[in-house]
């Protein structure tokens, strides 16, 4: 089921019993975040399974929340909308992630038709793909209300997530820095364009509110938005157009977080997920197009010559990320529907809403990773790894040092380069059973022989690294060792009961009275 906008998705979740509406007055400063944090760590409606016991169909994550009475704003605030496996499946319109992974596999590695009849049969598929690109119209319902001179970020129920967010004199932010606020836009698509060829990019970067029309645009040096910024600056242009988009088709936030290949547009991928192209509308004050069905759009310019202090910020790592200087964003317009919904999220110690977005990406993009690294059978990003700290990988081992080759390939695969610990196991190990993986590390690894330490890029949020954005990474070969992998004594067989006896015991189990 494809959803045309955020509100239709929220209504759908309401009918499924996945939404809680809160009518009591709440404060956007910390109170909404504290509620969402507690809910995200509780069971969802009607279930008590957890990701540890049921990796993709567990009911952890709590309800989606819609706060209808937010202090200081007339606009309701939605949070934890994507915060469970079930809601992610509903958003993507699938009963299981594997179905979507198969569609991605066909898109990434299509089978070429070999006969005229096969080519004729392919035509409908090709025509369908041709229709999933974005389509630009004249206007959109995201512009039913247009504010320019009277645009004010404080009209929106922008939340503060954690107590020391944006605090001066803490985590590297000078005590005399521009104070701003601790309020952050956290679940918006950030729309930029490559000034050389006009190609659009949709990223998801946090934005710290500094004043009514001022904000700090936080993006990492590796992000496409930052690359576009550098291009504008290199061209000698003092301003870069940028739009902050909240809402729209619910697949948009997901597409904005996906590790897509450089030549694949997030809007194209969103159209692929939704089964039809995303409708766009020209912005009112900047040369940019944004989703016509969005709830709220903040238009403005990034100053390529001025930076301001941003942070600290309570991040998905579970710690405050350090403050640093980032580009200044100045608002020129805020447009929205007549009755908009403000979409937001909180990140912190997992599980949080971002964990489920990331887990869907892990499953859906397995075919892409297998295309880049065919040795991989499956992989798992454990919750405690906060996305980049741990990767468990399963391979079918055929030759010496194959596990090390796979580790090196992963460190060369897009955002997987940030992986700090990679553990490689044999094909008979369930990488989603974390106890089983740890058992094989303990059983199969000689630390000196089977671990390698390399230097390279790291997530800039990694406070343990000795340098900003770089440091060391560890690969652990927990596979059964074979000749050619150093000094190897005979590896014993893992204990397994015979299938015949297992079948007999299962058949007679009730007789035992156990």
Alpha-carbon separation of residue 419 from 171, 286, 415 (angstroms) = 24, 38, 8
The contacts found for 463-472 with CB under 8 angstroms, 24 or more apart, are 463/317, 463/319, 463/321, 463/322, 469/220, 469/221
Q: What are the φ/ψ torsions at residue 410 (nearest 5 degrees)?
A: -65, -40
- Are the C-beta atoms of 474 and 451 separated by less than 8 Å? yes
User: How many alpha carbons fall within 13 Å on the CB side of residue 135?
Assistant: 11
Q: What are the φ/ψ torsions at residue 41 (nearest 5 degrees)?
A: -100, 15
Q: Is 453 helix (H, G, I), strand (E, B) or coil?
A: strand
Q: Sheet of 289-291: strands edge to edge?
A: 135-136, 279-282, 289-291
Give catalytic residue positions.
315
Q: What are the φ/ψ torsions at residue 189 (nearest 5 degrees)?
A: -80, 130
DSSP-derived secondary structure letter, 143: G
Sign of dihedral through CA atoms 64, 68, 72, 73? Answer: positive
- Are the C-beta atoms of 296 and 242 separated by less than 8 Å? no
DSSP-derived secondary structure letter, 154: G
Q: Which H helix or E strand runs over 295?
A: strand 294-310
Contacts of residue 390, Cβ cutoff 8 Å, sequence gap at least 6? 381, 382, 384, 419, 420, 421, 422, 423
Q: Is 194 exposed, middle or buried (0-12, 13-18, 19+ CB in 10 A)?
A: middle
How far is Cα 162 from Cα 183, in angstroms, rounded to an integer? 9
Return the number of other C-beta atoms located less than 10 Å from residue 27's C-beta.
Answer: 16
Q: Give the closest residue to 290 by CA, choosing from 324, 327, 333, 260.
A: 333
Q: Which two tokens stand for residue 239?
A: 């301003």
Residue 217 β-bridge partners: 207
Cα 253 → chain centroid: 8
Q: Give the closest residue to 139 by CA, choosing from 283, 302, 32, 304.
A: 283
Contacts of residue 84, Cβ cutoff 8 Å, sequence gap at least 6? 18, 44, 59, 60, 61, 62, 356
Alpha-carbon separation of residue 184 from 5, 374, 395 (angstroms) = 23, 40, 41
Helix extents (H) in 216-274:
224-234, 251-257, 266-274
How far is Cα 63 from Cα 20, in angstroms, rounded to an integer? 6
Q: Give the closest residue to 192 by CA, choosing from 64, 96, 67, 301.
A: 301
């Amino acid at each position: 089921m494809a959803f045309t906008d955020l509100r239709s998705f929220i209504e759908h979740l309401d009918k499924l019993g996945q939404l809680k509406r809160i009518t009591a007055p709440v404060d956007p400063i910390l109170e909404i975040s504290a509620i969402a944090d507690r809910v995200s760590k509780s069971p969802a409606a009607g279930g008590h399974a957890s990701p540890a016991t049921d990796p993709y169909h567990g009911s952890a994550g709590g309800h989606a929340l819609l706060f209808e009475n937010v202090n200081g704003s007339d606009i309701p605030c939605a949070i934890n909308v994507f915060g469970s496996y079930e809601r992610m499946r509903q958003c993507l319109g699938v009963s299981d992630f594997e179905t979507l992974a198969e569609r991605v596999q066909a898109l990434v590695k299509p089978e070429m038709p070999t006969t005229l009849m096969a080519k004729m049969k392919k035509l409908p598929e090709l025509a369908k793909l041709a229709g999933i690109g974005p389509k630009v119209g004249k206007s959109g319902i995201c512009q039913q209300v247009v504010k320019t001179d009277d645009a004010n970020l404080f009209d929106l129920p922008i939340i503060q997530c954690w107590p020391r967010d944006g605090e001066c004199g803490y985590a590297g932010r000078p005590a005399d820095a521009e104070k701003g606020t601790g309020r952050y836009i956290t679940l918006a698509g950030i729309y930029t364009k490559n000034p050389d060829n006009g190609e659009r990019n949709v990223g998801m970067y946090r934005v710290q509110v500094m004043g009514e029309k001022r904000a700090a645009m936080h993006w990492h040096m590796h992000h496409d938005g930052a690359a576009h910024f550098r291009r504008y600056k290199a061209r000698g242009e003092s301003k870069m157009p940028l739009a902050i988009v909240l809402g729209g088709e619910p697949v948009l936030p997901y597409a904005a977080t996906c590790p897509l290949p450089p030549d694949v547009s997030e809007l194209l991928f969103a159209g692929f997920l939704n089964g039809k192209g995303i409708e766009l509308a020209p912005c009112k004050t900047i040369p940019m197009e944004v989703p016509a069905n969005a709830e709220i759009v903040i238009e403005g310019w990034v100053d390529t010559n001025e930076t301001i202090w941003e942070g600290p910020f309570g991040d998905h790592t579970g710690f405050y990320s350090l403050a640093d200087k980032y580009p200044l964003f100045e608002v020129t317009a805020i447009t929205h529907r007549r009755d908009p919904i403000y979409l937001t999220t909180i990140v912190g110690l997992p599980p949080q809403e971002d964990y489920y977005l990331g887990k869907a990406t892990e499953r859906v993009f397995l075919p892409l990773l297998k295309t880049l690294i065919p040795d991989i059978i499956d992989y798992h990003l454990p919750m405690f790894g906060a996305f980049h700290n741990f990767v468990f990988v399963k391979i079918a081992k055929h030759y010496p040092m194959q596990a090390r080759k796979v580790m090196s390939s992963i460190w060369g695969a897009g955002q997987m380069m940030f992986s700090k610990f990679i553990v490689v196991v044999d094909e008979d190990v369930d990488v989603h059973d974390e106890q089983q993986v740890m058992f094989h590390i303990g059983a199969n690894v000689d630390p000196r022989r089977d671990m390698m330490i390399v230097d390279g890029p790291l997530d800039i949020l990694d406070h343990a690294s000795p340098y900003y954005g770089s440091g060391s990474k560890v690969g652990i070969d927990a596979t059964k060792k074979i000749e050619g992998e150093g000094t190897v004594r005979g590896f014993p067989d893992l204990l397994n009961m015979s299938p015949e006896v297992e079948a007999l015991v299962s058949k007679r189990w009730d007789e035992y009275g156990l």
